[in-house]
Structure 1
Amino acid sequence: MNRTDRLYAMVEELRAVAPRPRSARWLALRFEVCARTIARDIGALQQAGVPIYAEPGRTGGYILDKATTLPPVNLTPGEAVAMAVALHGLAGTPFHSAARSALRKLVAVMPESAAAVAREAVQRVHLVGDGPTAPVPAVVADVLLAPRVLLIEYADRTGALTARRIEPLGYVGSRAHWYLVGWCRLRRAVRAFRTDRIASACATDEAIPARTLTAADVAIPHRQVSQLTLD
């Protein structure tokens, strides 16, 4: 068991028996580590804000305060990214720090595989200023979580439609619009597609090849571009 899994399992063990304590010796035997490792793990959990306290004495041990903790949260990667985008709107308010702390706690109890998908996806979302309010088609919104080649019909400024096959790389959101940034196979270059001009979209079964979304791909002159994070 790696440390991340052990910390998660330790919290759930203490939650299951609370308000009864578990001794360091019991936990060390349960997780097949030494008591010193248990002490370090408990310290790390306490620093992360998990309400664990020690009860002294022969029958004492570590106790989790169930009243101030959450049970396991089945947060999906898409939900975690959505929360990070919503959190961006709180920048500059008195609630920003508290909201960031809440998001970190929720991500910490996600399954590691789901958290890894969310962290990779959120790195591909960039917001300009306060971020956009325009809606995004569901098919387009899902492509960063399950990267697949996308077939779209795209309208230019005159309304003329062209069929495009694109490899989605990320999003950029301005105050007025969302842009899907991707490698356009028609133009053989990175292009930004305003999502409100995508007349139709269909996700294929073709996985996209590895490509990196660089800072130059999302550079917008004279604007502040924010990178989202789950940490």
Structure 2
Amino acid sequence: MNRTARLYALVEELRAAAPRPLTVAALATRFEVSTRTVQRDLQTLMRTGVPLRSVPGRGGGWAVDPSMTLPPIRLTVEEATALTAALALADARTPYAGAARTAAQKIVASMTRPASAAARALAGRIVAVPAPDDRPIRCTVERALDEAMALRLTYTDATGHESDRVVEPAGLLTADGRWYLIAWCRTRRAGRGFRLDRITAAALTGEPASPRDLPALLRGSAAAAAVPPAALASLAPPS
């Protein structure tokens, strides 16, 4: 059994035993490897986001939260490669890029062997020019969206003019490879779009943001015809 297959099988072994922990020695015997190898594998799984926990004391060992892991995913080779190509677009300027990476690692670890092999093979043949890393600003914007909280921005517009304003996030717009925060601007008393790579500072205000209708904020703008991406149709909440 190669290491990739063993990592996948290790998670499934812990899932099957959950919530009962398994000792490193028991896992080493099960997979016919050394305890040192099992320890190294467990550390690798933890780094990729698998929710493992160590249970100390007599009868302890390692356990996994079955509600936080994925059962085997039977994607076709075409579906696996399509997922890989889509994830390649999530660079440092893409909202939720960090979460996309850990989600991808979990999905690939749960794929059947042909799909996993296809995804990994394609991943080895895709390169990208690194984008500037604006992680602190992006993470603040993500939190404001997730927690429906007003956001204080410092923003530089297309003419180079810098302004400070408090906005109430409504959603995200993607167009021509760029991402925009669509929000109600308290200064302008109207909906506005803020290109994420032009936000130079962002801070949570702690104030709740009022619910805003995204299509209504886009009405009358150049993005008025924007529609949900077809690939997300199955994920969208029912209307």
Q: TM-score, normalised by structure 2?
A: 0.47
Q: If each structure's helix is expressed as a fraction of its own residues, which one has the higher value?
A: 2
Q: TM-score, normalised by structure 1?
A: 0.48
User: More relative contact order in 1 or in 2 (CA 8 Å, sep 6+)?
Assistant: 1
